[in-house]
Structure 1
Amino acid sequence: MGILVLGYFGYVTNQLDGQTVKTRDVYNLLKEKSEDEVTYFDTQTFKVSKLNILKMFWMIIKAHHVFYLPAHNNLKYIFPLVYFFSKISNVKINYLVVGGWLSDFLNNKKIHRYMLKDINGIYVETDHLLHNLSKYGFKNLHKLYNFRNIDLKKIQPAKNNDGNVKLVFMARVHPMKGVDVIFEIDKSIKDLGIENVSIDIYGQIFEGYKDEFFKKIEASNVNYRGVIEPNNIYNILPLYDLMLFPTRYYTEGFPGTILDAYISGLPVISTRWLNAEEFVDEGETGYIVDFNNDPLYINTVLGLIKNSEEIDKLKNNVLIKRDVYGINAVWEILCESLS
């Protein structure tokens, strides 16, 4: 075995979120580009049987390179064992960080910091996290944007020739993702008598929010379209005009929602989360609204609805920016870790 991709694939329940999608994309990219044998281990199988951890250790021992994408608990409890087996087997670990939480996580974990300093590479999505981790003395840090394993040239946004403005929200359907703001936008559109706008929501619904969410759907003109399978995202998103991202998670890393929007040619209207300015170019690829300022967010969206020329300008800028999130740029970086 040459390369093992180790992380939360979510295949057991077909869970689709930023963690699972990135993990699958890393596996598919390595499978496509590398000349080595590439296999994977889905840590979600621990929920099926704790004995699967023995299978994971055996796969680590047989590998030459491990591309590791752990969530919080995996890094806290499993990583020390992964590190131990990699050391005794001379396996190179490359840790691909998902999100922006790692620096805070390591604040009081000296042993984890020691082990991470000793692995082959740590690949982070944002300059902010790169800066914070460097304060711990890491010398094995690399910048690696989140990405999608797809040929960008095949993805072209649809031309809007009917005068309608199509808004979309695609993320986990949870209040902390700002989904309630979507219903406020819909209410404002109705109050103003605007008729050329549609709003669609895609994503897995947080269990504790389902009843409230569907009540709001029934009382609004917002459409819930279910979950988009990863292989169908770029057939659907290019049909829209604007991506709505009113997140209330301040410590987002590089959200997959924004990545998918850019690849699809969609500008993003975002709240000012921690790394917003790094990924949304104000007035160029979208707009950033002060955090938790719902009235300003709504007014920003309404202003764009009334200005189709501005939407077209933003779309053209997005098509230029998205190249840095393509597979060629990512593979150039990952390939160095295999030498």
Structure 2
Amino acid sequence: MKKVGIVGHFGFGHKLLNGQTIKVKILSEEFQNELGSGNVMTVDTHGGAKRVPAMIGNTITMFRNCENCMVLPAYKGVLVFTPLFSLLNKFYHRKTYYIVVGGWLDSYLNKYKWLEKLLKNYTAICVETTTMKNALEKRGFKNIELVANCKELPELSVRNLQHSFIEPYALCTFSRIMKGKGIENLIYAIQKVNENAGQIVYTLDIYGEVWKDYISEFEELQKDFPEYIKYKGSVNYDKSVETLKNYFALVFPTLFYTEGIPGTIIDAYAAGLPVISSRWESYDDVIEDNITGIGYEFGNDEALIDILETVKCDPQKLIDMKENCLRKAKEFSPRAIVGGFIQKFF
């Protein structure tokens, strides 16, 4: 009998860099480190509807052979795997866990109210933020646990931090590229600040996988990029610290109000980068305001411009946050997160 089985979007054989895939791979690797690879079984949900029969068959096999069964589903996956887990557990009586990716589950239940009863059958629903924990507990859930997002990243030492910056200040983004992540809003804001100054105050390097439904729009957008804005392609998450460490700051202009703990912010902290971010719902769970980053009003482009103008006048304010970011990064280590999970539940 294996110790744990994990259902998630592994995308074996594909180079996928979205947050869901990265999280499930990191958790799987750390469970293998802690328990041994022979004690961990994985079920890949990559492939869409045509692979659903195989996914169901593999999940049944997992329940037969694993003491603990967990799932990291996306939006549609919740509708498939929550009923499936509930049904199978009537026969196999395993400990079951829903590891939530992002912060959308509470609002999702407004549409799929019938899911609530089934979700309460999990041994634990592990959410990333206190905002989401509180929201679900208001619905009557008694099985909510706080389990932060995590990443295994190289530790940058304080002596390797860059503390000296001059204009133009090099900004970056490091997440999935799509309209909803606010990339167009950020480009507008940087162009506006530079135009107002009559010189290049900020440059912007954009890293990340372009969302498939946004590829053509982004290609058109790139045609009008000024010289100080560049798309730098995708970078594997284990190369993030090396890629980001010399930047002035990372910007996270998300338009998704229900973000959980974005992996890109963990990347930034590990590289010693303060974060300039919109104040999404769980902002305070991730960013210590004026300590590891600076926030602006959610969805307000003018507020973003104001923040960039303020930082331009006092760049030392952000530079002084860099050591705080390295400290904060330690809170998101997989060893700490998975080790604590095993100690509590296994």
Give yes or no for contact 2:153–2:241 (8 Å, CA) kept in 1.
no
Q: 1:324 aligns with which of 331, 341, 346?
A: 331
Q: Deviations over 1:155-202 (max 9, x none)?
A: 986414463522001122111111012322342354224446431001
Between 1:271-280 and 1:323-332, the stretch displaced more is 323-332
Q: 1:113 aligns with which of 113, 116, 121?
A: 116
1:93 match: secondary structure: strand
Q: Amino acid of the residue matched to residue 90 of structure 1?
A: H
1:139-288 map, 5 Å: 139-150=142-153, 152=155, 158-161=161-164, 163-164=166-167, 165-191=169-195, 192-195=197-200, 197-219=202-224, 220-221=226-227, 222-288=229-295
Cα separation, 2, equivalents of 1:337 and 1:328 = 14
2:76 match: secondary structure: helix
Q: Deviations over 1:198-253 (max 9, x none)?
A: 31001122334333323333331211011111221122122212111111111212
Cα separation, 2, equivalents of 1:226 and 1:127 = 33
Cα separation, 2, equivalents of 1:2 and 1:327 = 18
**Aligned counterpart, 1:2:** 3
Structure 1's 155 and 312: CA in aligned 2 closer, same or farther, altered over 3 A?
closer
Give yes or no for contact 1:94–1:337 (8 Å, CA) kept in 2.
no
2:162 match: secondary structure: coil
Structure 1's 63 and 167: CA in aligned 2 closer, same or farther, altered over 3 A?
same
Give yes or no for contact 1:270–1:288 (8 Å, CA) kept in 2.
yes
**Aligned counterpart, 1:123:** 126
Task: Give the drift of 1:22.
Answer: 0.9
State yes or no: 1:40 paired with 2:42.
Answer: yes
Cα separation, 1, equivalents of 2:119 and 2:217 = 42
Unaligned 5+ segments in structure 2 are none
1:282 match: secondary structure: coil
Task: Give the drift of 1:5.
Answer: 1.1
Give yes or no for contact 1:202–1:228 (8 Å, CA) kept in 2.
yes
Give yes or no for contact 1:183–1:216 (8 Å, CA) kept in 2.
no
Q: Amino acid of the residue matched to residue 51 of structure 2?
A: S
Unaligned 5+ segments in structure 1 are none
Task: Give the drift of 1:310.
Answer: 1.3
Cα separation, 2, equivalents of 1:157 and 1:20 = 30
Q: Deviations over 1:111-143 (max 9, x none)?
A: 532232222211111111111111232222211
1:106 match: secondary structure: helix
Cα separation, 1, equivalents of 2:181 and 2:131 = 21
Between 1:314-323 and 1:92-101, the stretch displaced more is 314-323
**Aligned counterpart, 1:76:** 79
**Aligned counterpart, 1:89:** 92
Q: Give the root-mean-square deviation of aligned CA atoms.
A: 2.4
**Aligned counterpart, 1:135:** 138
- Moved segments of 4+, more than 4 Å: 108-111, 153-157
Q: TM-score, normalised by structure 2?
A: 0.89
Structure 1's 277 and 157: CA in aligned 2 closer, same or farther, altered over 3 A?
farther
**Aligned counterpart, 2:102:** 99
Q: Amino acid of the residue matched to residue 245 of structure 2?
A: P
Give yes or no for contact 1:202–1:225 (8 Å, CA) kept in 2.
yes
Between 1:64-73 and 1:38-47, the stretch displaced more is 38-47
Q: TM-score, normalised by structure 1?
A: 0.91
Aligned length: 339
Q: Amino acid of the residue matched to residue 27 of structure 2?
A: V
Percent of aligned positions that are identical: 27
Cα separation, 1, equivalents of 2:58 and 2:334 = 30
Give yes or no for contact 1:120–1:337 (8 Å, CA) kept in 2.
no
Between 1:255-264 and 1:21-30, the stretch displaced more is 255-264
Structure 1's 88 and 110: CA in aligned 2 closer, same or farther, altered over 3 A?
farther
Cα separation, 2, equivalents of 1:315 and 1:29 = 27
Structure 1's 61 and 156: CA in aligned 2 closer, same or farther, altered over 3 A?
farther
Cα separation, 1, equivalents of 2:221 and 2:12 = 31
Cα separation, 2, equivalents of 1:258 and 1:62 = 36
Q: Amino acid of the residue matched to residue 76 of structure 1?
A: L
Cα separation, 2, equivalents of 1:156 and 1:249 = 36
Q: Amino acid of the residue matched to residue 283 of structure 2?
A: A
Q: Amino acid of the residue matched to residue 176 of structure 1?
A: G
**Aligned counterpart, 1:66:** 69
Q: Amino acid of the residue matched to residue 103 of structure 2?
A: G
